[in-house]
Chains A and B, each alone.
Chain A
Amino acid sequence: EIVLTQSPGTLSLSPGERATLSCRASQSVSSGYLAWYQQKPGQAPRLLIFGASSRATGIPDRFSGSGSGTDFTLTIGRLEPEDVAVYYCEQYGSAPFNFGPGTRVDIK
């Protein structure tokens, strides 16, 4: 089973700043099947990135994903107030699939 760890646990930044979120896998993620989701309180998660670096439909280009193997990054180019949320990575290449514990992004 692949275990995902995310860092930092919480990220507090000012509007307009760049946010860098990390996701590390205990083994190589098969086929680069690594996704990022955004979840706001009381809402279902929203897919941001799939295949490590492909933006989902309708996602602003300030969100970008990179990485391969065991190390992946989600970057929010210029933070906006509506980006306050918890961000989860997920590997869906090898069953059992699983999520990381999440990174909370707050606005200063």
Chain B
Amino acid sequence: EVQLVESGGGLVQPGGSLRLSCSASGFTFSTYSVNWVRQAPGKGLEWVSFIGADPYTIYYADSVQGRFAISRDNAKNSVYLQMNSLRAQDTAVYFCAREYCGRDCHAMDVWGQGTTVTVSS
């Protein structure tokens, strides 16, 4: 079964750090890009970060640039999101989602169930 599972969420104080993990199974992970998308309580979707199948293509939303870092370990079929200097506005459910980019990019076709990050004192 094709699956993505996020972990690492929790309660953290403002200014603190968390590392989210996205573990993949059921497909050839190394050939897929991965996005992180978040959703604050009662709000819409916000794209956060992208890492390409090659690990050198990386993008961030302006709201997290300089504070978050995305990385991947193909040997472990995993993508990580290191989140530093966390703010109350970072409180959200964080989803990872795969995206295939061959000749064309096919958008995010498989999503995890999400992990909740709460930033509060």
Contacts and interface: CB of A to CB of B under 8 A. Distances in A.
Interface residues of A, number: 28
Interface stretch (B20-28, B59-67, B82-90): B59-67
Interface in A76-103: 86, 88, 90, 92-93, 95-102
Interface in A15-40: 31, 33, 35, 37, 39
A50 B107 contact: yes
B50 A33 contact: no
B108 to A, nearest CB: 6
Given A44-B111, A47-B109, A88 B62 contact: no
A31 to B, nearest CB: 7
A88 B99 CA distance: 17
B75 interface: no
B107 A92 contact: yes
Contact of A45 (B59, B61, B62, B111): B111
Interface string B28-72: 000000010100000011110010000000011110000000000
Nearest to A102: B44
Interface residues of B, number: 24
B104 A45 contact: no
Given A37-B45, A88-B44, A102-B44, A96 B62 contact: yes
Contacts of A86: 44
A96 B106 contact: no
Interface of A: 1, 31, 33, 35, 37, 39, 44-47, 50-51, 54, 56-57, 86, 88, 90, 92-93, 95-102
